[in-house]
Amino acid sequence: MSLLLSLISLFILSPEGATLAIDADHIGQWQYTVESPDVTYKGVLEFGGEEGAYTGTLKSDGNSIDLTDIAFEGSALSFKMNVQGYACTVNAKIDKDNLSGAVSVDGFDLPISGTRM
């Protein structure tokens, strides 16, 4: 009977309610690595806020870059940033404590990976 009630409650939850619980799990700090042909970039991504008002910062080598247009949709993450005059867009998937995807910049896609801290 409890299994039946659990299954019914999954269908009763609104999609927004289910997404909010997942989104809140993504808030926090993530160690990241971006691989380029010449160098490997490492640092920390920090996410805060709540749906509709997420905040974020990329920190690396003593520098801090604000993230914009941050969106969490289920396991999908996207955001934008400006790095040394280049507009970058990040699209990634989050699987529990791991992040993987690509940083698109100036027509190139560079792999990004990360782990929750």
98: amino acid identity, one letter:
N
Domains plus CATH for the chain? 2-116 (2.40.128.120)
Position 23 scores a pLDDT of 54
What is the C-alpha separation between 105 and 28, in angstroms, rounded? 25
pLDDT at 2 over 80: no
List, for residues 12-31, the tens digit of each pLDDT value. Answer: 343 444 444 445 578 999 99
List, for residues 50-73, the tens digit of each pLDDT value. Answer: 888 999 999 999 999 999 999 999
The more confident residue out of 5 and 2 is 2
* Neighbour count for residue 56 (Cβ, 10 Å): 22
List, for residues 72-82, the tens digit of each pLDDT value. Answer: 999 999 999 99
